[in-house]
């Protein structure tokens, strides 16, 4: 009965690979988000999707692409991984601006 | 100038103390959030405020829109309150801005 679930929890991969992180919410929320938490623990919004439309797209490299097959899913696909992509990535969802719920995070390590 | 400033950056206190964490912002906002990140990394949304004051258990959050300031208070603090507390808001451009967090450590 997990509200926002991310998979995998840990991901170790080599530079240059392409990887995806999945996120699913069962809360009936209409907006989903991806955040990156850097080594200094600073959170930064990457993307948000509302009703399958991208409504915020921060200045992230275009190697990162969000994919939302439906309102309950927002996956993050990363091409040509670089060392600097190593971070913890959090998925979250909300209903409008209420009920923000975060996933448990995916720790990505690029070697 | 940063759009949001949190203080203090680090806070160590004894169990039972009253804790205050501050968040000041410089732009118009529609709502402000307080988040808690546990040592294990999980993030929990504590409050969303657009005016006044909210209370949940031992946690109290206040916001003064005119002064562009919000505070998070913890009464009767406990070691399990040890975490990073982050304020975040959405500005008028629908951009989410996070504070850098306050690392709280409550000693038994």
Q: Does B41 touch chain A (CB under 8 A)?
A: yes
- Distance of alpha carbon A86 from alpha carbon B81, whole angstroms: 28
- Distance of alpha carbon A72 from alpha carbon A88, whole angstroms: 21
Confidence of residue A84 (pLDDT cuts 50, 70, 90): very high
- Distance of alpha carbon B14 from alpha carbon A29, whole angstroms: 39
Beta strands in A9-103 (DSSP E): 10-13, 19-25, 31-37, 43-50, 53-57, 64-67, 75-78, 87-95, 98-102
* Whole-number CA gyration radius for chain B: 13
pLDDT tens string A18-76: 999 999 999 999 889 999 988 777 788 888 888 777 877 767 888 999 998 888 999 99
Q: Are strands B96-98 and B102-107 parallel, antiparallel or unpaired?
A: unpaired
Confidence of residue A16 (pLDDT cuts 50, 70, 90): very high
pLDDT tens string B47-97: 888 889 999 999 999 999 889 999 999 999 999 999 999 999 877 766 778
* Backbone CA torsion sign across A101, A98, A48, B34: negative
Average pLDDT over residues B7-16: 96
Looking at the predicted structure, is the pLDDT value of residue A99 above 70? yes
Return the pLDDT at B91.
72
Q: Does B33 touch chain A (CB under 8 A)?
A: yes
Binary contact (A41, B42; C-beta < 8 A): no
A-B contacts at Cβ under 8 angstroms: 46
């Amino acid at each position: 009965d997990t509200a926002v679930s991310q998979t995998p929890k840990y991901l170790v991969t080599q530079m240059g690979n392409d990887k995806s992180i999945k996120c699913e919410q069962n809360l009936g929320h209409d907006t989903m988000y991806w955040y990156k938490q850097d080594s200094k623990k600073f959170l930064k919004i990457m993307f948000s999707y509302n009703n399958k439309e991208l409504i915020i797209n921060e200045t992230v490299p275009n190697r990162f692409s969000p994919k939302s097959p439906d309102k309950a899913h927002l996956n993050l696909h990363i091409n040509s991984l670089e060392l600097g992509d190593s971070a913890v990535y959090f998925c979250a969802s909300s209903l409008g601006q209420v009920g923000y719920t975060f996933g448990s995070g995916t720790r990505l390590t690029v070697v | 100038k940063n759009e949001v400033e949190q203080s203090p950056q680090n806070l160590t206190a004894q169990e039972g103390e009253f804790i205050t964490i501050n968040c000041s912002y410089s732009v118009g906002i529609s709502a402000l959030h307080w988040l808690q990140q546990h040592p294990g990394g999980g993030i929990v949304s504590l409050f969303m405020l657009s005016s006044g004051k909210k209370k949940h258990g031992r946690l109290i959050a206040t916001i003064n829109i005119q002064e562009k300031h919000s505070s998070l208070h913890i009464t009767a603090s406990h070691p399990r309150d040890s975490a990073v507390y982050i304020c975040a808001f959405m500005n008028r451009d629908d951009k989410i801005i996070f504070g850098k967090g306050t690392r709280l450590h409550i000693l038994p």
